Structure 1
Amino acid sequence: MIHDPHLLSYLQGLTVSLDPIERFKLAVGEPDEWQNTLLQTNPRLNEADRMVLALCGRQSGKSTTAGGLGYDDFSKGKMVILTAPSLRQSTELFRRILEFKNTDPFCPPIVRQTQTELEAHPSHGGRIIVVPATDQARGMTADTIIADEACFLDDDALTAFFPMRKETGRIFLLSTPNLRQGFFYDTWVSKTQVTRIMARSIDVPRRRAQVEFDRKTMPEATFRREHLCEFVGSGTPLVSWETLEGASNKEVRALCLT
């Protein structure tokens, strides 16, 4: 057993720098199963991981997980671009990244830190920058592109980021569902070779109490969109969620018409 606190700290930092899941545990805690899957995506092992679509329920931890991915690449000397439908959402994602920075025992020397940018010393090369989802982002090159709430981004604005990816880079599109249209939806239902990850709030144990509260207070279409990750509109569904749930419940007897 190692008792030297300095050696223990070094070994912990080394483990964290090599494993994004260990980094997540240090900064946040034990990741959910879907977060483990997202954190372990690797285009060198799976070509589909060049573009990852994560369809996530409300408060499932998507921004925190994206922050872990972004900081992990930054710590390896990579250039990371963050974007979202609004500057507020982008900076909130950036704030999650800083949570990982502040718990990193081996954080590289920082030469610039603002509300929208983090830059390490040139000898390290790591950089994170928040950019608006507009044509202003053209001309940049990145190892990693992360778009939060991608379903709510204009298609032209979203796809304008794709040519910025380096040949060896990757793209992460994370979002709660919106309407059945747009790049995210079209790609999600297509046969395009991308990685698809779903994280329904209803399947996350730590969210159980909030989900049950929302089930009782939200309109059904909103609940299905926000927590079941269904691409539904704002109208009244033909078949209710309770009916669908009962149809798969062996304890619910069949309705007999005489």
Structure 2
Amino acid sequence: MSVTQKQRQIKEIVKCGKNPKYFFNRYVKIQHPIKGAIPFRTYDFQDECVEAFEEHRFNVILKSRQLGLSTISAAYAAWLAIFHKDKNVLVIATKLAVAQNFIRKVKFVIQSMPKWLLVPQIVNNNKQALEFSNGSTIKAIPTSEDAGRSEALTLLIVDEAAFVRNFDTLWTGLYPTLSTGGRAIVLSTPNGVGGQYYDIWKQAEEGENIFNPIKLPWDVHPDRGEDWFQEETKNMSRKQIAQELLCDFAASGDTFLQVEDIEYLRAWIRQPIDKWGPDMNVWVWEYPMSTKKYIISADVARGDAQDYSTFHVIDTEASAIVAEYRGKLPPDKFAQVLAEAGRRYNEALVCPENNSYGYAVVMKLNEINYRNLYFEKEKDRYSFLYGSGDIGKIGFQTNAKTRNQILTKLEEVLRTKQVSVKSSRLYEELKTFVWKNGKAQAQKGQNDDLIMALAIGVWLYDTSPQLNKHSVDLNSAMLAGFAVNSTKIGDTVLTKSQNTTDDKSSGERKTWGENNPYTDLDWLVK
């Protein structure tokens, strides 16, 4: 080799070490699924990603499928390890096969390079790791709770982060490993609303964390137009299109409600007109009106754990949530807030969930003499009010069967827009309330307490004859029909029946006074 040629190679090595884009386009080949090994000619959007990797320590990428982001990440990892000393690159993948495939991509990049360009020697080579004589390493591993915790990392790459199991726990352990100046590339297609990846992305979009957000929908690729999109989506479901191509979090998940229903609720969010109670956690959208009837449905928690105690105040005539509470209180304190809300809203009918902590709430409500409490059977209610009824029958009993029933009713009511909702807190819960293994539930780390409280309330006023708005309207109409005759009860003359033996009643005029229970017939529909 001539001196001139060797000098030229040294210049190329230096140039490649300074500019990863130059290295990729000049010396790297990639594996094409149909064409085989082809020169790596990066697209503009890929170049912009590499520039972001160099400019920002933390990058989060929301991407469409088949944009070559895993390939560009593998090439970048190879460039970093080959041209820089003592770099520790760790790749976290969803499973072992994906981790091994990443290492194969790195190896293909290295194998395509000219021998003289690979300055460090490979001293360790296996299916999940490469080690170089310059002290640099590239390792790819499947997700686990202790993945990478003991290592000081130069670069962390999390591939398909939205699908990494327990990514929230994993990220908590991995973040400190970057504290010495390490960088992170977190990339994924969307997988529904909620979870650590979703939170990182949303906070990055709003400038609330240290991540630089990069969004790459299907049409950033220059070779993809409308015809390509139409052909590609012919045999794809709506969820697949949202997840694979559109970078749409909401439509890509198995949410309890359809995305359009969730978005409808978002459009109706309003700030409360008033707040009161502990920590001002009772939010009010409408003040009580004396002519209206209200019910209060409650979901009860212990008060010192992750879950919240919640309630909704529902105007049964307007089918509107007029107030709600969400907070962490011991059951006895929660009962006092419930009673206060009930008294403010015309002695509203209060229905707590009758679970272990709910029973403590019921006992406290009885102790402070709040009497308008829900019983499934009217006879139990009257026994409680006028006798020595069983307070264990107060409230709504939630079990596997009734839970499915009330959630089915809630989905119907929200989908058909039968109830007015203005709460941002409820909206946030609905975004992360998903189907998992055939059961509707909150995503890990999220809550569904307001949802369950509303499900109880909707079930009560929509299915119970004594509470159902339509049934009450029908009964009121029937009572109004009884009053069509202009003759008043108080003016009626009661004449003696032929069979009567009470002469004192003969021809006597009866007037039913104010204390007579039959003067006000509203009790029939309560």
TM-score (norm 2): 0.41
CA offsets per residue over residues 3-56 of structure 1, 9 Å max, x none? x6655544433322221111221324222222112212356xx5xx22110111
Aligned amino acid, residue 176 of structure 2: P
- Alignment-mate amino acid for residue 12 of structure 1: E
Contact 1:143 1:165 in 2 (8 A): yes
CA shift for structure 1 position 109? 0.8
Matches within 5 A, 1:77-226: 77=85, 78-105=87-114, 106-107=117-118, 108-121=120-133, 124-137=134-147, 138-153=149-164, 154=166, 155-190=168-203, 191-208=208-225, 211-226=229-244
| Counterpart contact for 2:53–2:185, Cα < 8 Å | no
CA contact (8 A) 1:85 1:152 kept: yes
List structure 1 runs of 4+ shifted beyond 4 angstroms: 4-10, 207-210, 234-237
Which is greater in Rg?
A: 2
Q: Deviations over 1:200-232 (max 9, x none)?
A: 122212345754322222112311221111112
Deviation of 1:100 after TM superposition, in Å, equals 2.1
Whole-angstrom CA distance in 2 between matches of 1:34 and 1:125:
31
Q: Secondary structure at the match of 1:180?
A: coil
Give the Å deviation of 1:238.
3.5
Equivalent position amino acid for 2:132 in 1: A
CA RMSD of aligned residues (A): 2.3
Match of 1:58?
65
Deviating more after overlay: 221-230 vs 173-182: 221-230
Measure the CA separation in 2 of the matches of 1:157 and 1:164: 12
Aligned length: 230
Secondary structure of 2:103's aligned partner: helix
**SS of residue paired to 2:185:** strand
Over residues 73-93 of structure 1, what are the superposed CA-to-partner deviations in whole Å (9 max), with x where a residue is unaligned?
212121101111111111111
The residue identity in structure 1 corresponding to 2:60 is L
**Which letter maps to 1:188?**
W
Distance in 2, matches of 1:33 and 1:199, equals 12
Q: Does 1:31 align with 2:49?
A: no
SS of the residue 1:80 aligns to: strand
Contact 1:56 1:175 in 2 (8 A): yes
Amino acid at match of 2:43: D
Task: For 1:132 and 1:83, locate their aligned partners in 2 and report how far apart those are by CA, in whole Å.
Answer: 6
Return the offset for 1:95. 1.5
CA contact (8 A) 1:202 1:228 kept: no
Which range moved further: 228-237 or 79-88?
228-237
Counterparts of 2:240 and 2:142, CA distance in 1? 27
Cα 1:12/1:139, change in 2 over 3 Å: same
Higher RCO (C-alpha under 8 Å, 6+ residues apart): 1
Residue segments in structure 1 that go unaligned for 5+ positions in a row: 240-258
| 1:222–1:234 Cα contact (<8 Å) kept | no
Take 2:130 and 2:97, find their aligned partners in 1: how far apart are those partners? 17
| 2:423 alignment partner in structure 1 | none
**Alignment-mate amino acid for residue 202 of structure 1:** D
Closer, same or farther: CA 53–139 of 1 in aligned 2, 3 Å: same
> Do 1:143 and 1:166's aligned partners in 2 also have CA atoms closer than 8 Å?
no
Q: What's the secondary structure of 1:70's corresponding residue?
A: helix
Taking every aligned residue pair, what percent have the same amino acid on both sides?
24
CA distance in 1, matches of 2:71, 2:174: 22
SS at match of 2:181: strand
1:107-131 alpha-carbon deviations (Å, 9 max, x no partner)? 211111111110011xx11111122
The separation in 1 between residues aligned to 2:111 and 2:135, in whole angstroms, is 18
Q: Name the counterpart of 2:247.
A: 229
Q: Which runs of 5+ in 2 are unaligned?
A: 30-39, 262-526
Tell whether the 8 Å contact from 1:118 to 1:129 is kept in structure 2 after alignment: yes
The letter of the residue matching 1:53 is V
Counterparts in 2 of 1:164 and 1:200: CA distance versus 1, 3 Å: same
Q: What CA distance in whole angstroms lies between the structure 2 residues aligned with 1:120 and 1:172?
A: 22
In structure 1, C-alpha distance between the alignment counterparts of 2:191 and 2:137, rounded to whole Å: 31
